[in-house]
Amino acid sequence: MKKIFQKKLLLTLVITILLFALLSGIGASKETVELVLWHQESPPRRVEAFQKIIDRFNTEHPEIQVKQAPQSWGEIYPKLYASIEAGNPPDILFSIPDLTMAMKVIGAVTPVEDIVNEIESKYDMVDSQIAPYEYDDHIWAVPMWGMTHLLCFNEGVFDEEGISYPFNSWNELLEAGKKLTKDGKFGIGFPASQLMMTDQNVYNYMVTNNCEIFDKDGNVTLDSQKCVESFAFYDQLLDYAPPDVVTWFWGDSEMLFLAENIYTIQLFPSLAEWMKAEKEDKGPFNCMTIPYPEGGRDGAASYSNGATVFTKDPVRLEAIKTFLIYLHKPDVNGEWLSNWDAGVYLPITKASMESETFWSNEVVKYYEDIVKLQFAATEDGKLFGFEYAPQPVIGKIAGENLLGQMAGRLAVDQMTAEEVVKWGADMIRAWQEEMK
């Protein structure tokens, strides 16, 4: 009796396993494509806001399942290399131009001009955001959002001190810095540490003064007279900045700005944080575009953040296309970027810039003028090394934070502006030689 029962139990188990395997097979035959997306926007509220969009997409497109895997900027480089090395990179990575370029150089990136062209024709993308990814006859990432520097200031203190704004020249900024630096407070809050944020800050005064790292033909022009002027001006500004700017990390400047210890900074403003500070009687805070000298031009450091694609499988590519186009749908795009961190992430298609979901966000509504200013600045935005067809050495320039190193040398009085641009240009030439 017992044996018969055991046999029946065994039979039931075998049938169950077979059925399960069969059903799984049927499930698999539906070919659900699972996409893994890496991004570096890891604070929980951003992950949560993005997950809502992903969940909606996954429900609307059951044949595609997207999973986000938040990373951090600090570890993305080694992780990405390791994943490529192991033959298991993510399907999509939200990247920046120099990281995409580094991946493209090793042949890991799939061109995506078909996706970009479709988004462009549907929603009209800002040209300056495509440019950093367009070289060697292809487009190497799908621009997803923009980040553009503004010169932000403590409007309350400016009014108290009778400083008029916006500035129409570099000199006005310098004068304001001088006037506001007193009683342990500082007029200028620009960094000089060896970080990407310093590169961005310095670049604002390069681009507005027509100082370029390379000319159209790829020759190094960092030691031009224009660049001497740009670095000399940055050096002057640092006289009115806190003494420890050479060791600042990410977030230090914004924290000191919101604590009203420094009165001007250049950044991608996290407007939700500003709103909180203003509720605590700080500020109010405001922004203007980067001032420029006589003969200069409008401009600012502007990052086009793009979706870099690693897979070459046509089925996965089609799924990626569906997902990225979905993210660019104006209502989706507006909701996603405004909830991610208003002021930091900007829509980059004309359609999304006008979307109701974007402008109905509480923070965006409150700082409407600043956001509009950012849109305008994005049109003139540039990224160092990507003014023309990018040179392969740009990965090294960005990785070494060369502009930041140059600013640091000025800040500790190790070099003059003339010496520092010569040093920077020589470094690039040496790296180019090395790469040959």
Partner 1 sequence: MVTEKLNIQIKRKFLIDLTKNEKLGLLLVTPLLIWLILVLLYPFIYVIFLSLFKRDPGSSIIQFKGLIYFYNLLFKDDIFWHSLLRSLYWTSGNVLVQFFFGILVALLLRQKFRGASFVRLWTIVPWITPVVVVILVWRWMINPTLGIVESLLRQAGFLQGYLNLLGNIKTVMITLIGIHTWRFFPFVSIIVLGRMLGIPEELYEAAKVDGASSLQRFLHITLPQLRGVLLTFLMLATVWTFTSFDTIFIMTGGGPVDVTTTLPILVYRRAFRTFQLNEAAALSLIMFLFTSIFMAIYIKLGVERDD
**Whether 303 contacts 203, CB under 8 Å:** no
**Whether 166 contacts 289, CB under 8 Å:** yes
What's the closest the beta carbon of residue 314 comes to partner 1, in angstroms?
Answer: 20
Q: How far is CA 221 from the centre of its chain?
A: 25
Residue 125 backbone phi and psi in degrees, to 5: -85, 145
Q: Which is nearer to partner 1, 98 or 134 (CB)?
A: 98
Q: Which is nearer to partner 1, 146 or 404 (CB)?
A: 404
What's the closest the beta carbon of residue 411 comes to partner 1, in angstroms?
Answer: 7
Q: Which of 355, 350, 434, 341 is nearest to 396 (CA)?
A: 434
Residue 87 backbone phi and psi in degrees, to 5: 70, 25
Structure tokens at 326: 């979905």
Instruction: For residue 366, give the amino acid letter.
Output: Y
Residue 82 backbone phi and psi in degrees, to 5: -65, -40
Q: Which is nearer to partner 1, 204 or 401 (CB)?
A: 401
Structure tokens at 44: 């929980």
What number of other Cβ atoms are within 10 A of residue 305's Cβ?
Answer: 25
What's the closest the beta carbon of residue 364 comes to partner 1, in angstroms?
Answer: 31
What's the closest the beta carbon of residue 129 comes to partner 1, in angstroms?
Answer: 25
Q: Which is nearer to partner 1, 147 or 192 (CB)?
A: 192
Binding site for partner 1 (CB under 8 A): 77-78, 81-82, 84-85, 87, 89, 102, 106-108, 184, 186, 192-195, 242-247, 249, 256, 259, 261, 395-396, 399-401, 405, 408-409, 411-412, 414, 434
* Strand pairing class (264-267; 150-154): antiparallel
**Whether 186 contacts 241, CB under 8 Å:** yes
Q: Which is nearer to partner 1, 20 or 77 (CB)?
A: 77
What's the closest the beta carbon of residue 194 comes to partner 1, in angstroms?
Answer: 5
Q: Report the SS3 class of residue 212.
A: coil
Q: Which is nearer to partner 1, 217 or 434 (CB)?
A: 434
Q: Which is nearer to partner 1, 371 or 415 (CB)?
A: 415
What's the closest the beta carbon of residue 198 comes to partner 1, in angstroms?
Answer: 10
Residue 399 backbone phi and psi in degrees, to 5: -65, -40
What's the closest the beta carbon of residue 196 comes to partner 1, in angstroms?
Answer: 10
Q: Which of 85, 94, 82, 78 is nearest to 39 (CA)?
A: 94
